Amino acid sequence: MKVLVIGGGGREHALAWRLAQASRVSRVYVAPGNGGTVSDERYDCIDITEPAALREWAIQEKISLTVVGPEAPLAAGVVDEFRAHGLRIFGPTQAAAQLESSKAFSKAFMKRHKIPTAEYEAFTDAAAAHAYIDAKGAPIVVKADGLAAGKGVVVAMTAQEAHEAVDFMLVDNKFGVSHNDGGARVVIEEFLQGEEASFIVLCDGKNVTALATSQDHKRLLDGDEGPNTGGMGAYSPAPVVTAEVHARAMREIILPTIRGMEKDGIPYTGFLYAGLMIDATGHPKTLEFNCRMGDPETQPIMMRLKSDLFEVFWHATDGTLDQVELQWDRRVALGVVMAAHGYPLSPRKGDRITGIPAEAPDAVVFHAGTTMQDGDLKTSGGRVLCVTVLADSVKLAQQRAYEVAARVRFDGAQYRKDIGFRAVHARNAPQA
């Protein structure tokens, strides 16, 4: 069977890597892929991104199964396009992907279906937004309504910061957010305290299978300082998700979401990623939904997955996920993102990368913003690589990951030195 992975980041590299090990898979195509997939004979890279053209190519090539990595093609309706032509594809439809692509949609959905989340209001009028901030006070969170590659959120510790965020989101659009129909809109919501975790499940429209838990590190700098990014590193499992928190997240968030979407006439298929904020009493609330896997969470999760990923997707696209029980490596997986100079605001491209060690059973360097240029590997995006390892403890995983990262060289490389720090001190026994 030939499979296609849509996307070109670290998440897609990790999905392609795991799919290439599946027994029924003869060939893995990645569209468009990156410098890592193009220079590896296990994959073929296809330089097509437009949904209809990709669908045409998939028909010609007799692709048996397609998996979508990033949110943009989902929001553009690639799943609808493939399905309309009888192709098997795993992901949410354009309508279902609104859970991620529109904060206003997902917040209204959660309110309607009583899914725990921060209190909020949505605004198109700047004056009304400013008045709301004055009434509520800081800390408060301002979010752009539209896809912003993880950058459209300002957690304002002062009212001043919140007012500024409203101005540049509604008035100046400084982040370059692609706004939804009806123009610029912001969601302003209650600041939630606690510890975050990524809770990702597979859905076939009805049945749900949870992936191993994970935790991402969204801030650029050690100790969770500096600006928000797409994610600077992740590890699995996340000790903050105890068996009890896991059960609550399924019962109070995931299942009501799947049932709610079904009830609203938009059955949900694909990965569903709930970003959770878990308070001191173990009560999880939804920070956001993503309609895809996390990046970089996917990299450690794929390192731990022992089940045949192709068979899992086959069941997920047949509506028989209830027959799947995922098997996980009991070890800890940990991924350290190496980012380009200037990331996240203005990542520099074109720096030459050297020293990436060959893949080992316990260490894989997944590529993201890389490209092959005249036989040289060069940086071509913000998050460049994700050094991902397996080890018996978080501490050992850190040691191993940083040992590998130290060998990789490119000018301006930045990476956090503390990935997994919360788990090192955690006393909880995590759920898978």
Binding residues for ligand GLY, per CB under 6 A?
150, 216, 230-231, 290, 294-295, 297
In degrees and rounded to multiples of 5, residue 61 shows phi and psi of: -85, -5
One-character DSSP codes across 294-309: -TTTHHHHHHHB-S-H
Task: By CB under 6 A, tell whether 287 contacts ligand AMP.
Answer: yes
Partner from ligand GLY, ligand AMP, none contacting 295, C-beta within 5 to 8 A by type? ligand GLY
Which residue, 150 or 344, is less far from ligand GLY as judged by CB? 150
Pairing of strands 65-68, 2-7: parallel
If you count DSSP H runs as helices and E runs as strands, how many of each does the chain have, helices first?
15, 24
Q: How far is the CB of 402 from ligand AMP (least distance, A)?
A: 24
Q: What are phi and psi of 319, to 5 degrees?
A: 80, 25
**How far is the C-alpha of 112 from the C-alpha of 248, rounded, in Å?**
19
Our CA dihedral for 13, 14, 15, 20, rounded to 10 degrees, sits at 90
| Residue among 145 and 288 whose Cβ is closer to ligand AMP | 288
**What does 12 interact with, of ligand GLY, ligand AMP, none (CB < 5 to 8 A by kind)?**
none
Span of 2-10, 150-158, 160-168, 238-246 interacting with ligand AMP by CB under 6 A: 150-158
Nearer to ligand AMP by Cβ, of 140 and 353: the residue is 140
Taking alpha carbons only, the member of 249, 255, 304, 257 closest to residue 279 is 249
CB atoms within 10 A of CB 181: 7
**Binder of ligand AMP out of 3, 14, 142, 153 (CB under 6 A):** 153
Q: Select 153 or 401, whichever has its Cβ closest to ligand AMP.
A: 153
Spatial distance between the Cα atoms of 185 and 403, rounded to a whole number of angstroms? 45
Q: Which residues contact 425 (CB under 8 A, 6 or more apart)?
A: none
What ranges in 124-254 are assigned the alpha helix state H?
Answer: 126-136, 159-166, 243-248
Identity of the residue, 204 or 297, whose beta carbon is nearer to ligand GLY in the bound complex: 297
Question: Whole-number minimum distance, CB 164 to ligand AMP, in Å?
Answer: 16
Among 81, 100, 196, 297, binds ligand AMP (CB under 6 A): 196
| CB 108, min distance to ligand AMP, A | 15
Q: Looking at 30-38, 148-156, 343-351, 397-405, which segment touches ligand AMP (CB under 6 A)? A: 148-156
Among 191, 252, 329, 432, binds ligand AMP (CB under 6 A): 191
Interface with ligand AMP, residue 178, by CB under 6 A: no
List alpha helices for 195-321, DSSP H.
243-248, 255-263, 298-304, 309-318
- Tell me which of 118, 301, 413, 419 binds ligand AMP, using CB under 6 A: 118
The residue number with the shortest CB distance to ligand GLY is: 231
Contact region with ligand AMP (CB under 6 A), list: 190-198, 251-259, 371-379, 387-395:
190-198
CA 73 to chain centre: 14
Residue 297, contacted partner among ligand AMP, ligand GLY, none, CB below 5-8 A by kind: ligand GLY
Cα dihedral sign for 228, 233, 239, 244? positive
Interface residues with ligand AMP (CB under 6 A) are 118, 141, 143, 150, 153, 155, 189-192, 196, 218, 228, 275, 287-288
